[in-house]
């Protein structure tokens, strides 16, 4: 009786181990892809003398964020010429809990650059920045708690007046 009880308990333990999902072999020899990191901020463009226009550099590619860290960011530009503000809004996502900070850089046609940041952004967190009545470049970078940085937006925002 005692021996059969031990055998039954061992079979139950083995069944629990198999049900735990630890039966597949590991992927030895494979290395996970290295995270893509970006520089701390885009290079600052020199300010030109009055009257000269500097073209905005072309936009660069955005980084591919692993699915578990993915977040959504929205960028809008006001259509009022007296206040062409740019609003960067954090919309959340799978990686919201892993997001340490959000940085936004606006480069205007005159070469001036404005940078804003927020620590631990939550859904609806906004960064309000001054735009221009020309085409501005907006670059949004997310820093994760792991220290990895990802460029999630790099786009040109042309001014489009109403009417």
What would the CATH number be for the domain defined by 67-157? 2.60.40.10
Residue extents of the structural domains in the chain? 67-157
pLDDT grade for 154, boundaries at 50, 70 and 90: very high
* pTM for the predicted model, two decimal places: 0.63
Largest Cα span, the chain:
98
Model confidence over 20-65: pLDDT tens digits? 654 444 445 444 444 444 444 444 444 444 444 545 556 777 888 8
Helix (H) or strand (E) holding 2: helix 2-19
- Tokens for 70, please give them: 């993915």
How far is C-alpha 33 from the geometric centre of its chain's CA atoms? 18
Q: 3-class SS at 89?
A: strand
């Amino acid at each position: 009786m005692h021996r059969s009880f031990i055998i039954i308990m061992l079979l139950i333990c083995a069944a629990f181990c198999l049900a735990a999902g630890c039966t597949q072999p590991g992927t030895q020899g494979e290395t996970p892809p290295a995270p893509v990191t970006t520089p701390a901020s885009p290079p600052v463009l020199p300010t030109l003398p009055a009257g000269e226009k500097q073209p905005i550099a072309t936009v660069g590619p955005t980084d591919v964020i692993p699915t578990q860290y993915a977040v959504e960011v929205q960028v809008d530009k006001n259509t009022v010429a007296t206040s062409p503000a740019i609003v960067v809004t954090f919309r959340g996502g799978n990686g919201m809990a892993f997001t340490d900070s959000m940085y936004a850089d606006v480069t205007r046609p005159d070469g001036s650059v404005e940078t804003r940041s927020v620590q631990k952004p939550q859904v609806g967190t906004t960064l309000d920045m001054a735009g221009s009545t020309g085409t501005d470049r907006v670059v949004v970078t997310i820093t994760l708690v792991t220290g990895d940085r990802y460029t999630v937006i790099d786009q040109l925002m042309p001014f489009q007046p109403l009417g």
